[in-house]
Structure 1
Amino acid sequence: MAPPKRNEFLDADSEDDQADGYNSEDEVAKGGRSGKRRKVDSDVERDASDAEDDGAEPHVDGGATEEREKDDAALKAKKAKPKLETGLPDITKPLTKKNLVATEKAIRKSGVVFLSRIPPFMKPAKVRSLLEPFGTINRTFLAPQDPAAHTRRVRAGGNKKRLYTEGWVEFVNKKDAKSACELLNARIIGGKKGSYYHDDIWNLVYLKGFKWHHLTEQISTENAERTSRMRAELSKAAKENKEYVRNVERAKMLDGMQAKSKKRKAADGEEERRAPPRETRTFKQAQQIQKAADTEEQPERVTRVLSKIF
């Protein structure tokens, strides 16, 4: 069929459009896309001011405002993530004070399962995916391998992947936790026959009366003890290091003093060898007067005179 020669839509006047009752909202409702711009608050205010200038009552397009509010609400609903309706902390967001608060009823209703052995190279996401069919899981925690053992294994040529030794899984309902332990404990993990964990065995134990805050308290206590021991060891090592440095400095000082004294003595000996020999002066000494001894005999003349007198 040949197209019409005249375009009635383009040739129509604006009054005819008003008379036909064309509305962009009808086209949007049918699934089409409107080419007209939606009115915003500034346009509504402009229309109201124009109406006031003309002397007529201002007219506010309530339909556009309502539609905009509906669209905003729908957009917020799409962006909002689904929240857990159990009363337990929402783990889809970073842990804060707000989402750490949990009701006592939800805590009493929850149950914790202990995994005494984690298959090699199994990650927390895999544990969650394997246990989620048996009940809703809220939180999981797997204890990593000791870093020293990991370093030794890597140096020996082993696998560099991270290993986990044990783990805890929190079920929203304790009945699901008990049933999961009864069904899975001491059984193979299964799944596809060629999967990596097909022949590994589950080691699950339901911890009666044990809640998640007990685990966090235990971990915080162990961390505090480890931190205190580390601080004590660091302070002891710092003291030993300071004493060692002091002794080294003292030894250096003594060695320097001995080297200086040796150098000084060597310099003095060199000067003595280089100096000319000194002349020795001699002085004439007076002869010593010797006294007669008391035991010496008196002369004969003295004896004769004394004999005559006495």
Structure 2
Amino acid sequence: MLSEEPKTAETAKLKKNKAKKMKKDKKEKKKLKETSVSNVEEEADEQQDEGYMKSDDGLDETDKEAAEVEEEKREENSVPSDKKKKKKKAKLLKEAAEADNRGVCYLSRVPPHMDHVKLRQLLSQYGEILRIYLTPSTHPTPVKGKRPRPSKVQEQEFSEGWVEFARKGIAKRVANMLNGEQIGGRKRSTFYYDLWNIKYLSKFKWDDLTEELAYKSAIREQKLALEISAARRERDFYLAKVDQSRAQSAIEERLKKKQKVQQESGTENSELPVSQKKVIRQVPQKKPVAVETSQSKPRLSKDLLAGIFAGS
């Protein structure tokens, strides 16, 4: 029994030492965590301070552009609605005035192998050109002395065209100066010896041309729709007639088959014996009984009638 008491005291001391070590370890871990968090916060603060210390000159071009766009948006938002409306009206009036100052020339004939790029190169030396429109020709004009090569792709040819100049005076001057004159340019070009057929259209605007084109396209669509509807009607009529003919032919075939069957059945009945032939029975009907009126109604005697009429 004495030997057991010192053992229990030693175990108790060991347990106390372990508990003290555990407490120390926990305290050290807490201190380490706190120091690490503080270091991280200090680094973040330093980075922010460095970012704030940067000057605007150190920004990239994209950042500057984005900043300018944001400033413009803020200014626009800050401007009241009345000022915005006034600015829009001013812009529209400017555009309308510019449109009124423009002039349009008409080309009644476009030489072969000439497109809008070459036409712009030739006419841009006389003045500023805004828009060009060339109508493609449905029937290309063949060039004499040259055969079409199947290997090469055929160029698009145009029948007429319109050219819009920035100013009316330039358009008038170009039309008066070039009409009936030789196109010229490089001698190697195919339209070197062709003549200009150009005319200035007074009081004609580009919107009129677009309206005319839209009107023509609408008419073309209407014609196509009418043709398609007529073709559909013809197709439906033809299919209906085909169905009728098939039905009639089927009926005729059925009637022919019935006639054949009846003929065959008639010949078979004639060949059969009397016992096997069909017998049609006729049941005689009784006549209706006529009711005599003399028995139903009483009559006066002849003597009474003679006495009555004789006295009259």
Tell me if TM exceeds 0.5: yes
Tell me if 1:161 matches 2:161.
no
Map 1:87-166; keep pairs closer than 5 Å.
103-146=95-138, 149=139, 160-166=154-160
Q: Offset at 1:245?
A: 1.0
* 2:263 matches 1:259: no
2:59 maps to 1:60? no
Asked which structure has the greater CA Rg, the reply is 2
Q: 1:222-268, CA deviations, whole angstroms, 9 ceiling, x for partnerless residues?
A: 11111122212222222222122111111111011111211222233
Q: Which residue of 2 aligns with 1:243?
A: 237
**Structure 1 residue 212 corresponds to structure 2 residue 239:** no
CA distance in structure 2 between the partners assigned to 1:279 and 1:58 by the alignment: 126
Aligned-pair distance for 1:121? 2.4
Identity among equivalent positions (%) equals 30
Q: Which runs of 5+ in 2 are unaligned?
A: 1-41, 69-91, 276-312
User: Structure 1 residue 70: deviation in Å?
Assistant: 7.1
Q: Tell me the amino acid that sits aligned with residue 106 of structure 2.
A: F
Distance 1:259 1:58, change over 3 A: closer
Q: Is the 8 A contact 1:111 1:210 kept in 2?
A: yes
Q: Which amino acid aligns with 1:179?
A: R
The 10-residue stretch of structure 1 (113-122 or 270-279) with the greater mean CA deviation from structure 2:
270-279
Structure 1 residues 47 and 193, CA, compared in 2 at 3 Å: closer, same or farther?
Answer: farther
Q: Which residue of 1 aligns with 2:280?
A: none
Relative to the length of structure 1, the TM-score reads: 0.57
Once residues 174 and 115 of structure 1 are traced to their aligned partners in structure 2, the CA distance between those partners, rounded to angstroms, is 16
> Are the equivalent residues in 2 in contact too, given 1:47–1:59 (CA < 8 A)?
no
RMSD: 3.4
Q: Flag the 1:185–1:65 CA change in 2: closer, same or farther, 3 A.
A: same
Moved more, 125-134 or 209-218: 125-134
SS state at 2:124 partner:
helix
Sort the Cα spacing of 1:261 and 1:125 in 2 relative to 1 into closer, same or farther, 3 A.
same
Q: Tell whether the 8 Å contact from 2:114 to 2:157 is kept in structure 1 after alignment.
A: yes
Q: Is 1:50 matched up with 2:46?
A: yes
Secondary structure at the aligned position of 1:227 is classed as helix
Where relative contact order (Cα < 8 A, 6+ residues apart) is larger, the structure is: 2
Conserved 8 A contact 1:117-1:166: yes
- Counterpart residue identity of residue 156, structure 2: R
1:189 partner amino acid: I
| Distance in 1 (alpha carbons) for counterparts of 2:134 and 2:50 | 70
Does the aligned pair in 1 maintain the 2:113–2:190 contact within 8 Å? Answer: no
Does the Cα contact within 8 Å between 1:48 and 1:59 map onto a contact in 2?
no
Taking the aligned partners of 1:254 and 1:58, their CA distance within structure 2 comes to 96
Aligned length: 202
Is residue 223 of structure 2 the alignment partner of residue 229 of structure 1? yes
- Runs of 5+ consecutive residues of structure 1 not aligned to the other structure: 1-45, 77-99, 282-310
Helix, strand or coil for the counterpart of 2:111? coil
Give the alignment's TM-score, normalised by structure 2.
Answer: 0.57
SS in 1 for 2:194: coil
8 Å CA contact 2:134–2:161 kept in 1: the answer is yes
More helix by share: 2
Amino acid at match of 2:174: A
Q: CA 1:188/1:279 → structure 2, altered by over 3 Å: closer, same or farther?
A: same
Q: CA 1:60–1:144 in structure 2 vs 1: closer, same or farther (change >3 Å)?
A: same
| Partner amino acid, structure 2, of 1:134 | Y
